[in-house]
Structures are given as structure tokens and as C-alpha cells.
Chains A and B, each alone.
Chain A
Amino acid sequence: MSSKEFLRQECKNIKDVLEETLRFKYGLDGSKEFFEECETRRTFIESEINNVPESDYSSLEDIGININELSGLISRIERSSLGEYSWPFVEELKKIAIAVCRESTLIGNDTPPKVYVLSDGGLDAYRIYTEPNRPRVSRRRILTIVFPRTLKYFVLLHPILGHEVGHAIWRCSKLQYELKKIVQEELIDSGGKFESPASTASWIYDKNSPLAIKNYLSFLSKHGINDANLFHWADWEAWKEEILCDLIGLLSFGPSFVAAHCELLYALAPTGASFGDEHPPVGSRIKMVIRAANLLGYNDTSGLSDGDYKEGVNKFWTNLDARKQDDPWYDIFSDQQLISVMERISTLLGQYPPALYQETTPEVLSALFNKVQKQVPPVGYEINEDGLGICKKVDFRNILYVGWIAKQQIPDMPFLKLNQLCEYAILQQRGIDIFLDGV
């Protein structure tokens, strides 16, 4: 069989797989749009195979790569199973991603992406795959949201995906342009540790850096990495993008992101000192997010009435503050830099509701908290004095915030149970919202 014949056969195989899987059913919204997109990609590849001479090995190799990508994509969609992740959370996350990740395409100026979801192994599975912008055999953009399989029930940790929404936004050309400008003007041109790759490297190799950092640098030095070549290994642009995405996560999910970010990052890097070629030091990222949350006034309890709820809020923020690295070395930006950059990112996200997290009143949060205390899912439903049920809209991000407050204030309640109450609440709130919207 020649290479061309083999590729043609593989194209037919992909058609069979498509017919067996996406042709009929996938997910709550069906699979028609995925089927059509994949079939279009497959047909294009098939026509390219037919146009290529048997002896054009270079083109055949490229076509082989395209077939591999398509085959991988279909397999990922095929093994996506509703039973393996929290679909109530996913439905809310999709609303955010679809609202903000809009692009100009052939069919209009604000085309949303197609989104599908799957679970994968490992705590580090959390991510959103965005297809690249550079040329590829595709028509519409597909976002793949990935959850760790083992954390299916731990909905309180899922706000970490707010960070990944940031990466997805970054792929939209117009938004990338605006975000790049914001970062450049507010975090780079304003001076400090990220003024240039050289200033970042001097910060990392500062003689007064904490011992844990020095130990980590000593580990890196065994692999030939030093202050002069740090950014030949690490990617300074990637570090900036990660910082931006942490801030987008905070601004899109609010306090629940701060908690999930701190828990998960420290779970995998307990010293806070480690960093990677794409990620700046964990301790700096966590400290930046907590400081930014404080600057947003999330920790302000002055307007709250005394009681369990206020106590829970105080404990939540006090405990987070206690997990910040003490050493000022870990501070990346000044307060003013953080305030300015958050103001501008908030303005941008605010144009794409519900992408920007909106604080609600203490009364709403307190009422939700009281429900958790009674082991009832914290939803917008009350019985009034006349015994009549009253439905209210509640943003799922506030349900998650209340879950985290309850973790502090009701220590006897198992974390799994809290997560389940919050997941049920998101599910039930979806029903309440549909009722209120009269859909």
C-alpha cells in the first residue's frame, strides 16, 4: 500500500468512526455541530489527498499530520462522558466561555466557539485546550475543557478553570490585542520585576531570595540554568500570560477562584518556591491573587452583621492571608500596578456578561450560608411569611463562595459533602433560573 493509499484508507476509517460516534449522540446539546465540523475537516483532507501526486512525499507527510490531529480530536470527543465530570458546573462555565471567547469569522463579528468537555487523569488535568490560530484544517474553533477525573465531585475546586478561560480569551485576536496592551502599559512599562526579561531574571536570582528559592535554583543549576540563560529555558512571554490568566481567573470567578487557586497550587507545590518554563513561582502567584482580592475589597466585612456568616467570612480571608508567603521577595507587582491592571481587565470582561464576577449583597450570601448550615443546597429559594415559595436568581459563583466560607465556619462538615451541596445548588439554581426566565 502506498503512503497515499494508506492515508486515503485512514480517511475512510475516520468517516466510519464519525458515523459510529458523533453521527448520533453526544452530550446534552447533541453532537450534530461537532459531527458537521469534523466531517467538513475530513472531507477537506480527503480532497487534498486526491489532489496530491503519489510522489509528493512532503505534502503527504503534512496530510498525515492533519489526519492524526482530526483522529485525536474525534477520539477525545468520543470518550467524553457526562458521568465523569460535574455537568451543572460545566453548563455555567460554558456560559462564560461562550460569552467572552467570541471572534470575527466568515459568519459574523461575534462567533462563539464550540465547546466540549472531558475528564482526564491526574490532579493537573485542569485545562482548556484552544485550537491554535495558525493555519489548520478547521472551520470553527473548538474549545476542549478538561477536568481531573478524580475530582468529579469537588466542584469547589473547579473555579481554577477561570485561569484557563484566560488562555482561551488570549486566542481571540481582538481580545489578545487589548489584553496585550493592558499588560504592557500597566505591568511592564510601569517598571518593576517584569519590566524586561533581564529584570525578571535579576529578581529570581536576587541574593536576598528565600532559601526555598535558592534551593530550587540550585536544582536548576545542575541542568545548566543560571541567571544569564534563565529565559533561554523559561519563556518570559508565557510567564506574563500566566500572570494575566491568574488575574482573569480572579476577576471572572471572584473569591472562589482565590480559594481554589491557593488550595490546588499549594497541593502540587507546597513550598511555593517551584516554577516552570511556562509558570512563574507558585508562591508569587498565590500571593498576587490574594493581595489582588484584598485590593478589590473582597475581605471587607465591615458592613456585615455579627453572626456565623461574618465569622466565616473573616476566617476565610484570614486563613488565606496566613497562607501568603511572608517574604516580600514573593511580591511581583505594587498595589498600584494591580489596581490599575484589574480596573482595565474588569472593564474588558464587563463587556461580555456573565464573564465578569459581580459581588452580591451580604444578605444574599448570608441567606445562602444559612442553608448550608442546615445541610440544604444553597439556592435562591425562600419560603416567605405567608408560606409561599419565592424564587431568586443567584450566580453560581456566589454559591461556590458560600461553600468555601462554610468550609471554614462548619469544620465538622466533610469537604465532599460541602461540594455535593454546592453542586446540587448549581443544578437546582439552573432550574430556578429557567423558571424565572419563563423559558
Chain B
Amino acid sequence: MSIISVYEADKSDLMYKRFASLASSYLDMPENAKSSTAQIPLENLFRLLEMYKYDAFSDESRTGILAVKNNKDRIVMRSASIPWQTKVVEVLDSAISEIFKGTKKDEAVDDLEETLRLLSSSNEIDDGRKRRARGFFNKLAEELA
């Protein structure tokens, strides 16, 4: 038996908050986005935008095809928990609507993904693109908790 058992709550909201705040800071200081460690928040935000674009948030860990459970394993009822992405999607919806007024969701996501790519590859980002992305990531950082 392990020496400790701790319930690891889903901290996705907090992690995205941190990643969004870092992305916003990279827009102010693009030289910091060049480091390999900066790719971690940027890649995570890119992955989030992909899940959002395709509404593909199904992410549960599955056991193997032959998973055998013996009679020592407890049979446990699942709680009716709120899906992990609920709050994140709410904030994404409102950030898109506020920053990209009237733009279609897919177009807004493509715009943000392109900005993340430009940022991570140290390419020049025009002011309009920078302003939209900064507004979007600041909104995420403010509203996720």
C-alpha cells in the first residue's frame, strides 16, 4: 500500500489560467517565447484550441483492452461530476465573443492558433493580431480560477 493517498482534483482551470498568463507575457516580451520551456504553455493552449474547435474534450483515461479486475477491487459508483472542461469552455466562448466580435468561432480559433505558432517560432506578429491575442489570453487568465 502507498504511504499516502491524496485525491488529485482536476486543476485544468488553474493550469490554463497560468498558461494564458504566460502566453500574454510572451506577447509583451517575444524573446521569452523562444525558450523550449515556453513551448509547454504555448502547446497546451494550442491543444486547448484544437479541442475547442472540434468539441473533442473526451479525455478519460482508459484501462487496457483486457483489463482484469479481481474481487479485491472495489465496485464503486461514479459520481455525477461536472465535466472537466465546463468552465474552460464557458470562458473560451465569452472571450471569443468579446474579443472577436461577430467572427465565426473557427476563424477566431485559426487566428489564435496562427498567433501561437508565430510566437513560438519568433516570427513578427502584427499589432492587430497581437492585440486580439493579448485580449483573449488576458481574459482567460482573469476568468479562470
A235 to B33, CA, bound (A): 41
B residues less than 8 Å from A264 (CB atoms): 65-66
Contact, CB under 8 Å: A43 / B61: no
Tell me the chain B residues, 35-78 only, with Cβ under 8 Å from chain A: 36-37, 39-40, 42-44, 46-48, 50-51, 53-69, 75-78
B residues less than 8 Å from A123 (CB atoms): 66, 68
- With A173-B53, A229-B77 as given contacts, are A138 and B40 in contact (CB-CB < 8 Å)? yes
A residues less than 8 Å from B85 (CB atoms): 134
A residues less than 8 Å from B75 (CB atoms): 220, 223, 225, 233
- Judged by a CB distance under 8 angstroms, whether B116 is at the interface is yes
- Distance between A22 CB and nearest chain B CB, rounded to angstroms: 15
- With A125-B64, A223-B75, A278-B63 as given contacts, are A180 and B58 in contact (CB-CB < 8 Å)? yes
Give the interface residue-count category, chain A.
35 or more
A229 to B121, CA, bound (A): 51
Q: Mark A168-186, 1 if CB is under 8 A from B, else 0.
A: 0011011011001000000
Stretch at the interface among B10-18, B91-99, B125-133: B10-18
A residues less than 8 Å from B10 (CB atoms): 134
- With A176-B54, A232-B77, A238-B60 as given contacts, are A245 and B42 in contact (CB-CB < 8 Å)? no
Contact, CB under 8 Å: A40 / B36: yes
Contact, CB under 8 Å: A127 / B65: yes
- Distance between B40 CB and nearest chain A CB, rounded to angstroms: 5
A residues less than 8 Å from B113 (CB atoms): 104
Q: Mark A320-341, 1 if CB is under 8 A from B, else 0.
A: 0000000000000000000000
Stretch at the interface among A159-167, A198-206, A368-376, A396-404: A159-167
Contact, CB under 8 Å: A146 / B51: no
A160 to B62, CA, bound (A): 15
A105 to B55, CA, bound (A): 17
- Which of A65, A106, A223, A237 is in CB contact (< 8 Å) with B39? A106
A122 to B69, CA, bound (A): 12
A232 to B39, CA, bound (A): 39
- Judged by a CB distance under 8 angstroms, whether A132 is at the interface is yes
B residues less than 8 Å from A277 (CB atoms): 78
Main secondary structure of the interface of A (DSSP, over half): helix
- Distance between B130 CB and nearest chain A CB, rounded to angstroms: 17
A220 and chain B: residue at smallest CB distance: B75
A residues less than 8 Å from B14 (CB atoms): 62
A residues less than 8 Å from B136 (CB atoms): none
- With A43-B36, A62-B11, A135-B44 as given contacts, are A174 and B59 in contact (CB-CB < 8 Å)? no
Contact, CB under 8 Å: A177 / B55: yes
- Which of A44, A105, A245 is in CB contact (< 8 Å) with B40? A44
- With A104-B50, A105-B47, A170-B58 as given contacts, are A44 and B66 in contact (CB-CB < 8 Å)? no
Give the interface residue-count category, chain B.
35 or more
A225 to B84, CA, bound (A): 26
A residues less than 8 Å from B11 (CB atoms): 62
Tell me the chain A residues, 238-280 only, with Cβ under 8 Å from chain B: 238, 241-242, 245, 264-265, 268, 276-279
B44 and chain A: residue at smallest CB distance: A135
Contact, CB under 8 Å: B56 / A235: no
A residues less than 8 Å from B78 (CB atoms): 232-233, 235, 277
A122 to B43, CA, bound (A): 35
- With A125-B64, A146-B64, A164-B64 as given contacts, are A106 and B120 in contact (CB-CB < 8 Å)? yes
Contact, CB under 8 Å: B40 / A171: no
B residues less than 8 Å from A238 (CB atoms): 60, 62
A138 to B42, CA, bound (A): 10
Contact, CB under 8 Å: A176 / B56: yes
B residues less than 8 Å from A36 (CB atoms): 36
- With A173-B54, A177-B55 as given contacts, are A139 and B65 in contact (CB-CB < 8 Å)? no
Contact, CB under 8 Å: A124 / B67: yes
- Judged by a CB distance under 8 angstroms, whether A55 is at the interface is no
Contact, CB under 8 Å: A133 / B62: no
A residues less than 8 Å from B77 (CB atoms): 224, 229, 232-233
Tell me the chain A residues, 283-330 only, with Cβ under 8 Å from chain B: none
A1 to B75, CA, bound (A): 40
B residues less than 8 Å from A223 (CB atoms): 75
A222 and chain B: residue at smallest CB distance: B75
Q: Mark A103-130, 1 if CB is under 8 A from B, else 0.
A: 1111000000000000000111111000
- Judged by a CB distance under 8 angstroms, whether B117 is at the interface is yes
- Judged by a CB distance under 8 angstroms, whether B8 is at the interface is yes
- Judged by a CB distance under 8 angstroms, whether B19 is at the interface is yes
- Judged by a CB distance under 8 angstroms, whether A137 is at the interface is yes
- With A170-B58, A174-B56, A233-B78 as given contacts, are A40 and B64 in contact (CB-CB < 8 Å)? no
Contact, CB under 8 Å: A167 / B62: yes
A242 to B61, CA, bound (A): 12
- Distance between A72 CB and nearest chain B CB, rounded to angstroms: 13
25 examples of A-B residue contacts, CB within 8 angstroms = A65-B8, A104-B50, A105-B47, A106-B117, A124-B64, A125-B64, A126-B66, A134-B10, A134-B84, A135-B48, A138-B43, A164-B64, A164-B65, A171-B59, A173-B47, A173-B51, A173-B53, A174-B54, A174-B56, A176-B56, A220-B75, A233-B77, A242-B65, A264-B66, A278-B67
